């Protein structure tokens, strides 16, 4: 067993786990943050995407021990003062989700895209979110949501 100390959504946590424990399992099981989902466990579907020291990363192909000392962001940390984040609001407005299973990874990935490219073209949005698989929406609602949220996020910066 090893000790892992990290910050998630600004809150410090400490846990003990086997060295082989996946980061996503640690987040879900040990920290009880079940918003981050597992869709493939081999780094392709993107459902498990989180913010890792400010950049999007797949928590299913990392070990919890690798996150010792790191700052993570998960979907549970997106709301501010009890209100939906503008990107969450845009997903709701533009029907960017159906079953919601890809959604946490999709939100984090889209935020990462908008961080590096605040006013992406539709093609850039599609490329940016192609790191996450969605089986429900055909992606159009997601593209519309990201496009709509971009200027709102840019002006809030």
Partner 1 sequence: MSEARWIGKSVKRVEDARLLTGRGTYIDDHPPVANVCHAAIVRSPLPHAAIRGYDLSAALALEGVVGAITGADVARHTKPFSVGVTAPIHYYCAATDRVRFVGEPVAVVVAKNRYVAEDAADLVRVDYGPLPVVVDPERALDTTAPVLHEAVGSNLAGNRRLVYGEPDRAFREADVVLTERFSFPKYGSTPIETYGVIARWDPIDGVCTVWSNFMGPFIMHPLTARVLGLAENKLRFIVPTDIGGSFGIKSSIYPYIALIALAAMRLSVPVKWIEDRREHLLASSSGTDRVAYRELAARKDGTILGMRFKWLDNVGGYIRSPEPGCSFRPTGNFVGPYRFQHLEVDASVVMTNKSLTGPNRGYACGHLYFETEGMMDRLADRLGLDPAEVRRKNLVQPDQFPYRTPSGGLYDSGDYPAVLERALQLARYDELRREQAKARATGRYVGIGLALAVDPSVSNMGYVATALDPQFRAKPEYLPKSGAVDAATIKIDPLGRVIAILGTTPQGQGHQTVVSQIVADELGLAPQDVTVVDEMDTFTRVWSISSGTYSSRFGSVGTSAVALAARKLKAKLVEYGAHLMELPVASLEFRDGAVRPRSGKGPSYSIKDLAGRAHWNTESLPEGMEPALQATAVFGFTVAKAVDAQDRVNSSNTYGFIAEVMAVEVDPETAAIQILRYVTVHDAGTIINPMIAEGQIYGGALHGLGGALYEELAYDEHGQFLTGTFMDYLVPTASEAPQIDIAHIVSPSPLTPLGSKGLGESSSMTVPAVIANAVSDALAPLGIWINELPMTPSKLWTAMARACRSHAKSEGQR
77/91 with CB nearer ligand FES: 91
Classify residue 27 by its DSSP letter.
I
How many residues of this chain bind ligand FES (CB under 6 A)?
A: 23
Could you say which residues in the range 71-100 bind ligand FES, by CB under 6 A? 97-100
| Residue 135 sits in the site that holds ligand FES (CB under 6 A) | yes
Q: Which helix (H) or strand (E) holds 7?
A: strand 2-8
76 C-beta neighbours (distance < 10 Å), count: 17
Beta bridge partners of 63: 22
| Residue 114 sits in the site that holds ligand FES (CB under 6 A) | no
Compute CA 156 distance to the chain's CA centroid, rounded to the nearest angstrom.
Answer: 20
Binding window for ligand FES (CB under 6 A); candidates: 5-13, 33-41, 66-74, 121-129: 33-41
Which two tokens mark 50? 């989180």
Q: How far is the CB of 83 from partner 1 (least distance, A)?
A: 11
139/153 with CB nearer ligand FES: 139
Instruction: Give the binding site for partner 1 (CB under 8 A).
Output: 18, 20-21, 28, 33-42, 44-45, 47, 74-76, 78-79, 84, 88, 91-93, 95, 97-104, 107, 125-127, 129-131, 133-143
| Residue 35 sits in the site that holds ligand FES (CB under 6 A) | no
Scanning the chain, the segments in alpha helix (DSSP H) are 23-25, 86-93, 103-116, 122-129, 140-155
| Residue 134 sits in the site that holds ligand FES (CB under 6 A) | yes
Q: Which of ligand FES, partner 1, none binds 35 (CB below 5-8 Å, type-dependent)?
A: partner 1
Q: How far apart are CA 38 and CA 40, in angstroms?
A: 6
- Are the C-beta atoms of residues 106 and 134 closer than 8 Å to each other? yes
């Amino acid at each position: 067993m090893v000790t892992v100390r990290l910050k998630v959504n600004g809150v410090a946590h400490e846990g003990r786990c086997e060295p082989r424990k996946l980061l996503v399992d640690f987040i879900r099981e040990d920290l009880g943050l079940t918003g981050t989902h597992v869709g493939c466990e081999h780094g392709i579907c993107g459902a498990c995407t989180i913010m890792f020291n400010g950049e999007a990363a797949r928590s299913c192909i990392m070990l919890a021990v690798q996150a010792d000392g790191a700052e993570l962001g998960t979907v549970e940390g997106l709301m501010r003062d009890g209100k939906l984040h503008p990107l969450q609001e845009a997903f709701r407005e533009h029907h960017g989700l159906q079953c919601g299973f890809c959604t946490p990874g999709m939100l984090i990935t889209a935020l990462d895209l908008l961080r590096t490219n605040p006013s992406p073209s539709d093609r850039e949005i599609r490329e940016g979110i192609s790191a996450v698989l969605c089986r429900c929406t055909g992606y159009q609602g997601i593209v519309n949501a990201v496009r709509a949220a971009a200027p709102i996020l840019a002006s809030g910066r």
